[in-house]
């Protein structure tokens, strides 16, 4: 589930790298771990946070995935991170390499210019 840009207060690009413990798991075990640890957090925060994820290990040695979090508030994002930190997802199965928060095209929105698109 993704939120529309107008509902998103904050977008966070979380650059992560798979850790050996994750890579050693079978596909079934990976699915079980995600269902056990990540899915409940996503469901709990469904009205406030959405996740999109991208595989980049084909093109980068530094990170393997980019998780894009769209949040309706800074508080919602902070609560998400607190929940993630209490699971093996955070720093056991994945190393959080960098967190890049941003606001989509705020300059144009603030000055009431047309939003730039590649349409």
* Residue 6's pLDDT band (cuts 50, 70, 90): low
pLDDT digits 0-9 by tens, 56-77: 999 999 999 999 999 999 999 9
pLDDT given for residue 1 in this prediction = 39
pLDDT, position 46: 94
Fold of 5-110: Alpha-Beta Plaits (3.30.70)
Q: What is the mean pLDDT of the chain?
A: 89
Please state the domain extents for the chain: 5-110
Amino acid 33: pLDDT? 97
Q: Which residue did the predictor score with more confidence, 53 or 8?
A: 53
CA separation for the pair 29, 26 (Å, rounded): 5
Look at residues 100, 85, 104, 106 and name the one whose alpha carbon lies nearest to residue 13: 100
91 sits in the region (left: phi over 0; alpha: psi -120 to 50; else beta) called left
């Amino acid at each position: 589930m993704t939120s529309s840009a107008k509902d998103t207060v904050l977008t966070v690009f979380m650059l992560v790298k798979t850790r050996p413990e994750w890579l050693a798991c079978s596909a079934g075990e990976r699915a079980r771990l995600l269902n056990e640890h990540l899915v409940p957090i996503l469901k709990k925060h469904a009205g406030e946070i959405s996740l999109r994820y991208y595989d980049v290990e084909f093109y980068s040695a530094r990170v393997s995935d980019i998780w894009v979090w769209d949040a309706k508030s800074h508080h919602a994002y902070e609560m998400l991170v607190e929940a993630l930190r209490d699971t093996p997802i955070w720093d056991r199965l994945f190393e959080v390499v960098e967190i890049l928060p941003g606001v989509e095209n705020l300059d144009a929105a603030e000055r009431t210019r047309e939003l730039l698109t590649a349409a």
